[in-house]
Amino acid sequence: MEILVCVKRVPDTAENEIEVKGDGSDIERDDLVYSVNEWDNYAVEEALQIRDKVGGAVTVVSVGDDESEEVLRREMAMGADKGVLLSDDAFEGSDGAGVAAILKAEIEKGKYDLILTGAQADDGAAQVGGMLAAMLDLPFASLVNAIEVIDGNTLKVGREIEGGNQEMNEISLPCVLSIQTGINEPRYVGIRGIRKVASVEIPVHGASQLGIEPASVGAAGAKVRRLDYFVPELGEGAEMLEGDMDEICDKVLELLKAKGGLK
């Protein structure tokens, strides 16, 4: 099975403190560390496991700048067979639909049976997978937490829905799936693995190679534009208790008694 996984280089939210710049144009990026989007990493692991079971190859692709290469390399160190970077000045400022259009152009140059994305990334929009599927006219399922290969034409997938329940679907290939965290346990990628793939070639495709009209993507083609980042005015919020632990617990005890928190 030929599998393509779309990955994105994002700031690591667990290890970073996100602060909005004074002028609101962006977040503070000086001290940030970046890594592969967590959802995308689960998707790559899933792709590798499917490939190891039924054969085929896994390609990872990213829309980004030169630095996105490090993320592609990391996923190749994890086991992906090929990596492709889609980069062009014209791509900057793309909205979700723009990113999906760029990916579509790359996908149409190959022949893929299965296309995976992470369910969401740093902007929490959770849109590229669904948009990509619609552009390619392929079946789609979001929030996938289980995949079973039935045969060369069909998959059985589980979707995570409300209440911790799982919606089981049968979906025909080729298709696009967006992957939810927790679908598997991704393997570890150490420094050694990354050094082993340090010199593997990663082709870079720009707008002309992909046959994309610059006006249709990037800031020029975006239908949704971000105006600024801001810090919202904080509302009243909670009444903060003061004192040492002893006093605080006494107060909490009172409150619990008053509000019916003790049985």
Partner 1 sequence: MQPALIAPANYTVGVVPTIILSLLIPVAGVAAFAYIIAIRLAPLVKANPDMRWDKIPQRLFSVAKIWLAQWRHPRYRLAGVLHILIFAGFLILSVRSIEMVVLGLAPNFVMPGFGGLLGTIYRLLQSYAATWVLGAVIVAVVRRTVFKPERYRVPARYGKDHTAEAVFVLGLIAILMVTESLFEASLTAAEAQQGMHGQWLAPLSLAWMFKTMLLETSGAALQKIHIIAYYLHDLTFFFFLCFLPLGKHFHVISSIFNVFFMRLRRGNIKPVKHGVSDEQLDDLESFGVKKLEDFTWKHILDFYTCVDCGRCSDNCPANAVGRPLSPRFISIKGRDYTYRNYPLYPIGAAFAKSDDLIGTIYSEDEIWSCTTCGACEQECPVGIEYIDKIVDLRRGMVDEGNVPQSLQKPLGALEKRGNPWGKLEKKRLEWTKELNNGFEVNVLSQKNPADTLYFVDSITSYDDRMQAIGRATATLLHRSGCDFGILGKDEKDSGHEVRRFGEEMLFQAIKDHNSAAILASGVKRIVTADPHAFNALKNDYDGLPPVEHIAQFLARTIRDGRLALKPAEADDSVYTYHDPCYLGRHNALYDEPRQVLDAIPGMRRVEMERCRDRSFCCGGGGLMLFYEPEEETRMGVLRVEMAAKAGANVIVTACPFCLVNMEDAIKVAGMEGKMAAIDLAELVARHVA
Partner 2 sequence: MAQIFAYIRHKDGVADDSALELVNAAKQIDSGAAATAVVTGSGAELEAVCSQVAASYAQVWKVDHAALAYPNAELVRKALLKLLPATGILLVAHDTFGMDLSPGLAVKMNLPFVSDVIAMDSLDGTALKLVRQEYGGMAHTHVTCDTAAGAVINTRAGAFAPDESKAAAGQVVDKSGAVGDLAATRAFLEVVAAEAGDVDITKSDVLVSIGRGIEDQENIELAEELAQAMGAVVSCSRPIVDAKWLEKARQVGTSGQTVKPKVYMALGISGSFQHLGGIKGNPFMIAVNKNPKAPIFQVADVGIVADILEFMPELTEKIAK
Chain contacts with partner 1 (rule: CB under 8 A): 12, 14-17, 31, 33, 35, 78-79, 185-193, 195
133 interacts with, out of partner 2, partner 1, none, CB within 5 to 8 A per kind: partner 2
Specify burial of residue 2 (Cβ count, 10 A radius: 0-12, 13-18, 19+). middle
SS3 state at 78: helix
Residues numbered 26 to 55 that lie near partner 2 (CB under 8 A) are: 27
Residues numbered 49 to 108 that lie near partner 2 (CB under 8 A) are: 95-97, 100
Nearer CB in complex with partner 1: 55/190: 190
Nearer CB in complex with partner 1: 134/146: 146
C-alpha distances (whole Å) from 167 to each of 85, 156, 234 are 34, 11, 38
Among 5, 50, 131, 189, binds partner 2 (CB under 8 A): 131
- Shortest Å distance, C-beta 252 to partner 1: 19
C-alpha distances (whole Å) from 148 to each of 103, 154, 176, 218, 228 are 25, 9, 14, 36, 42
Binding mask 134-173 toward partner 2 (x if CB under 8 A, else -) reads xx--xxxxxx------------x-xxxxxxxxxxxxxxx-
- Contact of 175 with 141, CB cutoff 8 Å: yes
Q: What is the chain's Cα-based Rg? A: 22
